[in-house]
Structure 1
Amino acid sequence: MSAGQAAPAESAAHPALPSGRYGSAGRQRSKRWRRWLFVVIALLVGATIAVVAYQNLGDGPISAERVAFKELPGNAIQITIQVTRDEPDNAGVCIVRARDKTGAESGRREVLVRAGEKNGTLTTVIKSVGRPVTADVYGCSYDVPRYLSSS
């Protein structure tokens, strides 16, 4: 086509296409349900992943965080933790640990959280096999071992 010639007149809304080459217009409608099915399945899978992640990664019914720690003589470290729980009438247990300068665990202790307040502070001493440089909370649970329970 040169600059001075006009293009053949075609309808801008529906250009004439050979039906044998491109199929009929009804075929495009049949693909819409597949698209909607894919969207629904993707939403269901996404919702399932979100629920599982919330249950596994969300805050548990009992949790603790380190408030302070202080190195003591004789390869020991003192840790103070703040415990938060949703069932203050039940006893719980928290595991605290000491770490050496490489980050490896060098001591561990289970601490009984007696029934009582919803939020409480506990202080304990962890013995270490080497010089500890920090202490942290490993985790907490309501599943108290028999040797820790007072009853």
Structure 2
Amino acid sequence: MTQPPAGRYGRSVSDDARKDRQLRVAGAVLGVGFIALLCWFGFSYVSEASTVSGELIKSRPVSDTEVEAHLEVRKESDVTGVCSLRALDYDRAEVGRADFTFEAGETRVDRVVTLETTRRAHAAQLVGCHPSEG
């Protein structure tokens, strides 16, 4: 049997097979990448469960040397958490900083803390929360 002239009647069967193989490889690579991404997100979600998170609900200056801050902290009940706050003046310069410890035993702590300052502060800012190292 004779072969038709190349390119005259469309692509040959071998061209179609090569394209199909390339599509399968590309699909497999994308599928593996997607599964790896899902695993990474799942691991970060699970590992985040053992962290301490906090939210600054509100703050207000109570004197020229103190600021009150209302904190809500979430953590595991067997973890002692530490949250760092800083006080800022009207120019956003730092005028005070302190760490506040939240003992193990509760999963959600709602507390008003007082932060000492070197001069009149305008607001408090939550720097971050983390498990205690000791």
TM-score (norm 2): 0.72
1:48 aligns with 2:36: yes
From the superposition, tell whether residues 104 and 26 of structure 1 become closer, same or farther in structure 2 (CA, over 3 Å).
Answer: farther
SS of alignment partner, residue 44 of structure 1: helix
Question: How far apart are the structure 1 equivalents of 2:33 and 2:119?
Answer: 48
Larger relative CO (CA 8 A, sep 6+): 1 or 2?
2
1:19 aligns with 2:9: no
- Correspondent of 1:133 among 113, 122, 125: 122
Question: How far apart are the structure 1 equivalents of 2:26 and 2:82?
Answer: 46
Question: How far apart are the structure 2 equivalents of 1:24 and 1:69?
Answer: 74
How far 1:106 sits from its partner (Å)?
A: 3.8
Question: How far apart are the structure 1 equivalents of 2:39 and 2:92?
Answer: 33
From the two aligned structures, give the one with the greater strand fraction: 2
How far 1:81 sits from its partner (Å)?
A: 0.4
Question: How far apart are the structure 1 equivalents of 2:94 and 2:5?
Answer: 74
Contact 2:52 2:73 in 1 (8 A): yes
How far 1:74 sits from its partner (Å)?
A: 1.7
Q: Who is 1:113 aligned against?
A: 102
SS of alignment partner, residue 78 of structure 2: coil
1:82 aligns with 2:72: yes
From the CA coordinates, give the structure whose radius of gyration is larger. 1
Deviations 1:5-64 (A, max 9, x none): xxxxxxxxxxxx8425765232122221222222222233344345545628x9553211
Q: Who is 2:131 aligned against?
A: 142
Any gaps of 5 or more consecutive residues in structure 2? none
TM-score (norm 1): 0.65
The two structures, once aligned, show a CA RMSD in angstroms of 2.9
How far 1:79 sits from its partner (Å)?
A: 0.5
1:91 aligns with 2:91: no
- Correspondent of 1:67 among 43, 57, 62: 57
Question: How far apart are the structure 2 equivalents of 1:131 and 1:110?
Answer: 19
Deviations 1:70-116 (A, max 9, x none): 1122243110101111x212212111222333445443211110112
Aligned length in residues: 127
